[in-house]
Amino acid sequence: MRLLYINNDGGGFADYVDVTEGITVEQFFKDKMQGSKPDDFLIRVNRQPVPREYVLKEGDRVTVTPTKIEGALL
């Protein structure tokens, strides 16, 4: 099944990705953001906060936005 995955960590690209049926949002995050802690990100599915055991559905829009981003002097 296909999802729209928007990763705001790094390049901030929005892409369609193929995932296995029945995958939870927690597992999806672990697969895509290896080594990152979910607590450091704002995870939204179809613009809404969801529980970690939420099972993703075909066409869902998943957004991952870091809650800590380092600014810098130009």
Give the residues lining the site for another protein (CB under 8 A).
Answer: 6, 8-14, 42, 44, 47, 63, 65-74
Smallest gap from residue 16 Cβ to another protein (A): 12
Smallest gap from residue 70 Cβ to another protein (A): 4
Smallest gap from residue 55 Cβ to another protein (A): 22
Residues contacting residue 16 through CB under 8 Å, at least 6 positions apart: 2, 3, 4, 5
Asked whether the beta carbons of 25 and 62 are under 8 A apart, the reply is yes
For another protein, the closer CB: 14 or 55: 14
Question: Exposed (0-12), middle (13-18) or buried (19+): which is 56, by Cβ within 10 Å?
Answer: buried
